[in-house]
Structure 1
Amino acid sequence: MYTDYTDIGADTTEGYTISLTSRELARRTIGDSGPFDRIRQRCSISVGDFSMAELLRFNGDPVKAGLDALRAGAPVFTDIRMVQTGIQKKGHNSPVTCILDIMSSTDTGGKTRTSAALLSLGNRLTGSIIVIGNAPSALLILCDLVKKGVRPALVIGTPVGFVNAAESKELLRSIDIPSISNVGTRGGTPVAVAAMNEIITMFAEMTGTVE
């Protein structure tokens, strides 16, 4: 077993043992050649399916972008509260906020609430980390904002579903922005949270803030 394994979210002996054992299985199955494999491992564990590893895509050096953003204390914005709740709050100083809680208006203009919230934030998204695990419509809007000049530091986009989920992630991969996404209709909150938390864990290891 690996004695240098870190899980800053495991705060009991039993929890740590379960996490360590799961990670050992993932390392054996997926490989352990670098930070992308670490994210593949964690995302696969989050959904209980090692085939998730093959679906993940990394564009524009997203791990470095995420680490740099955390070092700068950049805000982390999430599409839904479930993603916000799942993201680890220890090991970094970046505020983690659900965009639904900072909408400038209750009028959505016929759009989904997450899409309207992103539009209302506009340039405030520049330099931030954006984690979308549920809302394909929001990811489509975000891609449009990026094309118009908004520059997030990192986008983690893994929305799940049969309507625009695969298409929104494909669009994300086509634009010049650091991103983590997955191919197809699968994904969801667990995958998005796992990817973000693994980057946070790497950051905590680098900065010596592992508790």
Structure 2
Amino acid sequence: MMENYTDIGASTPEGIKISRKSRELISALIGDRSPEDRIVQRCVIATGDQSVAGIMRFQHEPFQAGLRALERGAPIFVDIRMVQAGVVKKGHSSPIEAFIDRGDELAAASLGTTRTSAGVMALQERLSGSIVVIGNAPSALMTLCELMESGRAQPDLVVGVPVGFVNALESKERLREIAVPSISTVGTRGGTPIAVAALNEIINAYARERA
């Protein structure tokens, strides 16, 4: 599989060579049995940390849910611009929008919350059927969980891997209790590299299927 592996993010001969070699090395360490394994591989490569494989969690077939959402051109909502910048733009037709751009300081102050959380509230009517990717803002994931629990929003896929020591662990545990396709991490670890890598592997698989 690895000698034929293609990554739409690698556009030069050297980039392709490095991508395939990285996959070969990591697949030998953590396995290559399923789409979830390949998501884990990409997250390990993105962080340079093999232990990341042990904290990844997959609920309710997120890989398949992601492919279906991309097929429909579902919007992708992310917490911050760094995640938005990292998501591959080719190989799919889904628009990408950041919560932080919709949660200005006045809105956040009036709600008594963060800008990312205010952005989730501002966009709540558009979240059902979308892909949501949160790598940095536990408050945004907490707000999203509240909307999902109350039935006000039902995304097709949530990549919830916020990093930090305030509500990061709790928000991800809360996500895993909700019947929504999700990718998350255990504990306080997470961040932009894992969030972007997880979604980009699904995008890569989608693009390969249609090549």
Does 2:207 align with 1:204? yes
Match of 1:43 in 2: 43
Match of 2:183 in 1: 180
| Partners of 2:82 and 2:75 in 1: CA distance | 17
1:163-196 deviations in Å (ceiling 9; x for gaps): 1111110110011111000101111000000000
| Partners of 2:173 and 2:146 in 1: CA distance | 13
Match of 2:159 in 1: 156
Post-superposition offset of 1:121: 1.0
Post-superposition offset of 1:2: 2.6
Partners of 1:104 and 1:120 within 8 A in 2: no
Match of 2:133 in 1: 131
| Partners of 2:170 and 2:180 in 1: CA distance | 17
Partners of 1:169 and 1:181 within 8 A in 2: yes
| Partners of 1:3 and 1:206 in 2: CA distance | 17
Post-superposition offset of 1:100: 2.1
Post-superposition offset of 1:22: 1.1
Match of 1:80 in 2: 80
3-state DSSP class of the match of 1:77?
strand
- Percent identity over paired residues: 58
Question: What is the Cα-based RMSD across aligned positions, in Å?
Answer: 1.3
Partners of 1:59 and 1:178 within 8 A in 2: yes
| Partners of 1:200 and 1:165 in 2: CA distance | 25
Supply the AA of the counterpart residue of 2:170. Answer: E
| Partners of 2:46 and 2:133 in 1: CA distance | 16
4+ residue runs of structure 1 moved beyond 6 angstroms?
none
Structure 1: stretches of 5+ with no match in the other structure: none
Does 2:17 align with 1:14? no
| Partners of 1:196 and 1:184 in 2: CA distance | 20
Post-superposition offset of 1:104: 7.8
Post-superposition offset of 1:105: 7.9
Partners of 2:2 and 2:24 within 8 A in 1: yes
| Partners of 2:45 and 2:3 in 1: CA distance | 19
Q: Give the aligned length.
A: 208
Match of 1:60 in 2: 60
| Partners of 2:27 and 2:33 in 1: CA distance | 9
Match of 2:144 in 1: 142
Supply the AA of the counterpart residue of 2:32. Answer: D
Partners of 1:103 and 1:121 within 8 A in 2: no
| Partners of 1:163 and 1:207 in 2: CA distance | 41
